[in-house]
Amino acid sequence: GENCIITWGSSSGAAFEAANRLARLGRATRVIAIRLLSPLPENRLFEALAGATRVLTVEQNHGGQLYHYLHALRLLPDSARMLARPGPLPIRPGEIIQTMLEQY
């Protein structure tokens, strides 16, 4: 299966860097950086997730709102996991990599 990170906002840069590092470890990972939550381009997101079996949402907030929003829309596979943490310190690429390796 394929690795995929879904993110938005301030976590996007860290997600792309994590994907680059994971690729160097032999774990190709695509990043979907959502730019618009409303209206959410559901069809494009569904197509972008095709074939992804290891999905991690990464977001800079306490409750994982993006994860729960996408899950409620049935866009995420059941195996999807989330990394959500409030600021003020930004999520770092190393945290994303560690979460991917631990969860999958």
Domain residue limits at 71: 2-103
31-58 pLDDT, tens digit per residue, is 999 999 999 999 999 999 999 999 999 9
CA–CA gap between residue 22 and residue 30 (Å, rounded): 10
- 74-93 pLDDT per residue, tens: 999 999 999 999 989 999 99
How many domains does the chain fold into? 1
Continuous H helices in the chain: 12-24, 42-48, 65-72, 93-103
Identity of residue 93: P
- Read off the CATH number of the domain in which 35 is found: 3.40.50.920
